[in-house]
């Protein structure tokens, strides 16, 4: 058959081309004429072209119907490949699936005949069934077996099969040959309680699909719980959340403080409600927001002093909206809430945002209060790290403020210097007592603490050459310097 189809090429005579197609389609040319034979012969060129050869090959392989070739030759002037792809594109999905399934069934039926599996039916003995099973294996599109591997399975198969075999057992062996199921599934069905083969294999596949679905649902629930826990820990570690909880505890435990605090809230609303903003997410009015007293020392920003004022908080969105500093009587908005998500100009450094790249972290990181405050007030638009589970690992394009990134680098450098300074002082620490007797007892006397000659603060040890308070370094006594 393959040799005959190889002849279907450009330059072949019409009579030979039609003979090959009809033989491939199992049409008897000596009996009644094929309904499309005369019309196909009248439309083909003599000799045939390369497009016509490709169309006839597709018809011989059951990839299309002969009437599709006739329709293309009589109605269309476009190439065969464009015509058949356009026609398949216009077909509904159900029709395409039905045609594909029909073609697979035809190929399966032809393979059953070619491999001798048509003789594997009910009523034959076990040895004949095993012989036909092995003869159909290792054919390229069938089950591949090795002698040493298959012998234990064949012994179990001979023990479990009935003599003669039933129709269900023959169907199970055919499915195993064409790799529709595994050999161990056939043995499991034969060794289990009596039930039809088709019901057993369909039930097994349904159970596997249901187990996969339940596993995916369980994994989604685990991810949802992890996200909720991450959000909860983020809120729990927030300085604002801590102040809100502390204020709530004081209001519940002290009625006198509750009355005094309610009066202060009313006065704050009278002073700031006209200039207060609504929640940028849900649009709640300032009167509907929660007002509470907020005091904090932003240690991450050395240019700022202690902040003391009133903060508005949206309970629906669970986020801060605005802060009114009592010293300046002006609202300070949160950069990640009240500021635009992607502004043209950074409101902190008054600098235009530019395009660049940032590293992608496929997950979520929980930072401490110090880092969160720095990202919020010192470099809100640095955007040097993008946390997302949807983006692939690597780099992605962002719009960032160059001054924010410079401020972030300075801040992280200062943090590293302070960390190394503390580690160095701890490494160089000496004992505060000395040995006085030869018996090994430590009867030392406490030394006088050493102080920094530049700021007067107490040093970590007497031999320290750096001060963690003023960041001065005097490893070179002749040239003391200040660390960055």
- Higher pLDDT among residues 455 and 338, named by residue: 455
Range with top average pLDDT, 66-70, 129-133, 290-294, 306-310: 129-133
Range with top average pLDDT, 132-146, 304-318, 347-361, 417-431: 132-146
Question: Percent of the chain having pLDDT more than 90?
Answer: 4
The one-character DSSP state at 457 is P
pLDDT tops 70 at residue 290 = yes
pLDDT tops 60 at residue 430 = no
pLDDT tops 80 at residue 5 = no
pLDDT tens, residue by residue, 65-106: 777 888 888 877 788 888 877 776 655 555 666 667 777 777
183 CB-side CA count, 13 A: 19
Torsion angle of C-alpha atoms 164, 167, 170, 174, degrees rounded to 10: 170
pLDDT tops 60 at residue 373 = yes
Range with top average pLDDT, 5-9, 137-141, 225-229, 250-254: 137-141
Q: How far is CA 86 from CA 73, 89, 441, in A?
A: 15, 5, 98
- Higher pLDDT among residues 111 and 336, named by residue: 111
State the pLDDT at residue 189: 92
State the pLDDT at residue 390: 62
State the pLDDT at residue 248: 73
Determine the Cα–Cα distance for residues 68 and 55; give it in Å rounded to an integer: 9
- Of residues 332, 331, 307, 336, the one with CA closest to residue 319: 336
User: If pLDDT is split at 50, 70 and 90, which confidence band does 305 have?
Assistant: very low
Structure tokens at 483: 């660390």
Q: Is the pTM of this model over 0.75?
A: no
Determine the Cα–Cα distance for residues 78 and 51; give it in Å rounded to an integer: 10
pLDDT, mean over the chain: 76
Cβ pair 62, 106 in contact under 8 A:
yes
Quick count: other Cβ atoms within 10 Å of Cβ 64?
20
Q: What is the DSSP string of 65-109?
A: -HHHHHHHHHH--S-HHHHHHHHHHHS-HHHHHHHHHHHHHHHHH
Determine the Cα–Cα distance for residues 452 and 15; give it in Å rounded to an integer: 109
- Helical (H) or strand (E) element with 359: strand 354-361
Cβ pair 326, 291 in contact under 8 A:
no
State the pLDDT at residue 338: 43
State the pLDDT at residue 96: 60
User: If pLDDT is split at 50, 70 and 90, which confidence band does 2 have?
Assistant: low
Cα angle value 6/10/15 (rounded, 5°): 80
Q: How far is CA 316 from CA 281, 283, 286, 289, 320, in A?
A: 9, 10, 13, 9, 11
Q: Is 325 left (phi over 0), alpha (psi -120 to 50) or beta?
A: beta
First to last CA, the chain: 83
pLDDT tops 60 at residue 235 = no
Cβ pair 450, 464 in contact under 8 A:
yes
Cβ pair 346, 401 in contact under 8 A:
yes
Domain segments of the chain as ranges: 2-90, 110-194, 239-333, 345-424, 450-484
Interval 346-374 mean pLDDT? 75
pLDDT tens, residue by residue, 433-456: 444 444 444 444 445 678 888 888
Determine the Cα–Cα distance for residues 362 and 386; give it in Å rounded to an integer: 8
Q: Among 139-153, 154-168, 311-325, 336-350, name the one with the lowest average pLDDT.
A: 336-350
Bridge-based pairing of strands 385-387 and 481-482 is unpaired
Structure tokens at 412: 């992280």
């Amino acid at each position: 058959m393959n040799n005959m189809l190889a002849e279907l090429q450009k330059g072949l005579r019409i009579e030979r081309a039609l003979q090959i197609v009809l033989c491939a389609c199992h049409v008897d040319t000596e009996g009644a004429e094929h309904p499309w034979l005369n019309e196909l012969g009248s439309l083909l060129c003599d000799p045939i072209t390369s497009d016509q050869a490709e169309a006839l090959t597709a018809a011989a392989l059951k990839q299309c119907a002969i009437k599709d070739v006739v329709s293309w030759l009589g109605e269309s002037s476009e190439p065969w490949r464009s015509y058949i792809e356009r026609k398949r594109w216009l077909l509904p999905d159900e029709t395409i699936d039905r045609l594909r399934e029909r073609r697979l069934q035809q190929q399966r039926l032809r393979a059953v005949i070619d491999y001798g599996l048509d003789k594997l039916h009910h009523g034959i003995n076990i040895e004949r069934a095993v012989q036909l099973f092995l003869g159909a294996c290792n054919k390229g599109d069938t089950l591949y077996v090795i002698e040493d591997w298959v012998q234990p399975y064949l012994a179990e198969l001979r023990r479990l099969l009935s003599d003669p075999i039933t129709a269900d057992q023959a169907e199970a062996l055919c499915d195993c040959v064409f790799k529709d199921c595994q050999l161990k599934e056939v043995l499991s069905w034969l060794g289990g309680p009596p039930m039809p083969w088709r019901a057993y294999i369909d039930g097994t596949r349904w159970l596997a699909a249901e187990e996969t679905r339940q596993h995916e649902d369980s994994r989604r629930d685990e991810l949802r719980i992890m996200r909720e826990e991450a959000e909860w820990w983020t809120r729990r570690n927030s300085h604002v959340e801590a102040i809100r909880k502390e204020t709530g505890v004081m209001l519940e435990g002290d009625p006198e403080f509750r009355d005094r605090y309610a009066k202060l809230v009313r006065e704050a609303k009278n002073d700031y409600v006209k200039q207060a903003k609504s929640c940028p997410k849900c649009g709640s009015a300032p009167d509907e927001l929660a007002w509470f007293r907020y005091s904090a020392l932003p240690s991450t920003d050395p240019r700022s002093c202690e902040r003391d004022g009133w903060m508005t908080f949206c309970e629906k969105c669970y986020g801060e909206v605005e802060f009114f500093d009592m010293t300046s009587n002006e609202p300070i908005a949160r950069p990640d809430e009240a500021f635009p998500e992607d502004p043209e100009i950074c409101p902190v450094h008054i600098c235009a945002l530019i395009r660049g790249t940032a590293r992608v972290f496929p997950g979520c990181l929980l930072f401490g209060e110090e880092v969160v405050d720095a990202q919020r007030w010192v470099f809100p638009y640095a955007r040097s790290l993008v946390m997302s589970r949807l983006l692939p690992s690597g780099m992605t394009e962002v719009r960032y403020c160059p001054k924010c990134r410079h401020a972030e680098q300075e801040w992280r450098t200062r943090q590293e210097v302070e960390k190394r300074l503390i580690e160095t002082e701890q490494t160089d620490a000496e004992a505060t007592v000395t040995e006085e007797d030869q018996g090994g007892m430590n009867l030392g006397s406490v030394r006088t603490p050493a102080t920094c000659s530049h700021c007067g603060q107490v040093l970590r040890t007497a031999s320290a050459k750096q001060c963690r308070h003023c960041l001065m370094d005097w490893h070179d006594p002749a040239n003391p310097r200040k660390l960055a």
